[in-house]
Structure 1
Amino acid sequence: MNPATFDREIITEMVEGAFVDVIIQGDPSLEDACLEAARRLVDRGADVICADCGFLIRHQAAVSAAVNVPVALSSLLLVPTLLRQLPTAQKLAVITADSRHCTEDMLGIDKLDERSRVVIGGIENGEYVRNQLVRPSVRVSVDQIEREVASCVQQLRDKHPDIAILLFECTGFPVVAAAMRRTTGLPIYDVTDLCRMTLASVTVPIRNEHRRGL
């Protein structure tokens, strides 16, 4: 939601009822509200639509079918592509806000040998998620997010030394991506990378008036 992140204006719409706990747990009743928000964004001129929680990938198919602009609701869409960047002996680690609800159907892979190369870790017991679950949510410092993510990554690497790429599911994690790249020495992808790639595919009018939705 930082306007400096991309070279486009950011416009937003709220998905009615999309509280953090509801999204993470996968309440299917959110789908109609997601569709309505996406259509409002298109009506307002959005030329790309993404979301502020990676768990909304559950509604990716429905939203992309409902509008006529590219839809990229979650960095988890990158999982199959990132696996193909690696030799078969190496693994991709997905770092999520809550590993208990980051289920296999959200990863977009069907082959058992590929599934075994994806490991999932979460910070569900930390202060960041705890503060996001209260209404209204409470801000957490970037330093605290970095500590929790770093601890999660270290635990995963201790168990799986063959991890070669990290993928951040949570849209709160990009603020620590640069620091984590330095400390881990690993390639790290997040939702901003997916958004930049999607935005690069969209023609920008000369008057630079196209807008995107977040």
Structure 2
Amino acid sequence: MTTQATRSLGILGLEPAPLVTPEPPGAVLHPSNFEFPLISETVAGAWAENVSRGDPALEAACIAAARRLVERGAVAISSDCGFFIRHQAAVAAAVNVPVALSSLLLLPTLLRQLPSPAKIAVLTFDSTRCTEDLLGIDDPVERSRIAIGGIEGSNYWHDSHQPTPPPVDVDALKKDVTASLARLRDAHPDIAMILLECTGFPRVAPAIRHSTKLPVYDITTLCRMTYA
């Protein structure tokens, strides 16, 4: 039975397991991010490459990991990769706790907070894989208010595809995310809000918020909401 002392937020994690690649400050699984306990389960076979690509074979492993988290005391479940959103419906149907696997789930709510035609910048790990079906927006007018930019080809992108990724160079990551955002803002000067899809980007969210003076949301925002 889950007790108050063990009420944790469960995280579906990527390979390699955190014991192989320790989580740095700012990462989703770092304990400093939240005021409540975290537990994680690695989704067997889920690497950055095949999760971002959308490998349907991962669905059963996602469900199995989510069920293990509930057995261990998770009262809500999120993930360590925004592209796990492809398995959102299947995981939510398989467990009896709230499931929120990607910050992209916030998009419909955030759009309604802004006056039209103000736009939201979605900054993603790989814009070529952040496809229309992941946005949850069917209305073409609303879709036109979403501008997507990625950091594919960056060092962080390449490192994340390695069997054992090296420690994150936060300064380089900030430079890449900032450059992607600058390109979006040049093309869409009416951007009024920023949503970070990649679960690695909370490391640089404070710097982006400070430099742009715009609201910035990410997976940690969704985790706090879902746990609440």
1:188: which partner in 2? 216
Contact 1:25–1:101 under 8 Å retained in 2: yes
Question: 1:139 offset after TM fit, Å?
Answer: 2.1
Structure 1 CA distance, aligned partners of 2:215 and 2:177? 15
Give the aligned length: 200
Structure 2 CA distance, aligned partners of 1:124 and 1:155? 14
Matched residue type, 2:109? T
1:64 aligns with one of 84, 87, 92: 92
Structure 2 CA distance, aligned partners of 1:21 and 1:160? 29
Pairing 1:90-109 to 2, within 5 Å after superposition: 90-109=118-137
What is the percent sequence identity of the aligned residues? 58
Question: 1:82 offset after TM fit, Å?
Answer: 0.6
- Which secondary structure does the structure 2 equivalent of 1:79 belong to? helix
- Which secondary structure does the structure 2 equivalent of 1:72 belong to? coil
2:181: which partner in 1? 153
1:115: which partner in 2? 143
2:81 aligns with one of 53, 57, 74: 53
2:198: which partner in 1? 170
1:39: which partner in 2? 67
Contact 1:127–1:140 under 8 Å retained in 2: no
Question: 1:56 offset after TM fit, Å?
Answer: 0.3
- Show structure 2 runs of 5+ residues with no match: 1-28
Question: 1:140 offset after TM fit, Å?
Answer: 2.2
Contact 1:123–1:152 under 8 Å retained in 2: yes
2:162: which partner in 1? 134
TM-score, length of structure 2 as denominator length:
0.86
Matched residue type, 2:216? I
For CA contacts below 8 A with separation 6 or more, give which structure has more relative contact order. Answer: 1
2:108: which partner in 1? 80
Question: 1:134 offset after TM fit, Å?
Answer: 1.1
- Which secondary structure does the structure 2 equivalent of 1:140 belong to? coil
- Show structure 1 runs of 5+ residues with no match: 201-214
Structure 1 CA distance, aligned partners of 2:132 and 2:222? 20
- Which secondary structure does the structure 1 equivalent of 2:96 belong to? coil
Matched residue type, 1:149? V
Aligned structure 1 segments of 4 or more residues deviating by more than 2 angstroms: none
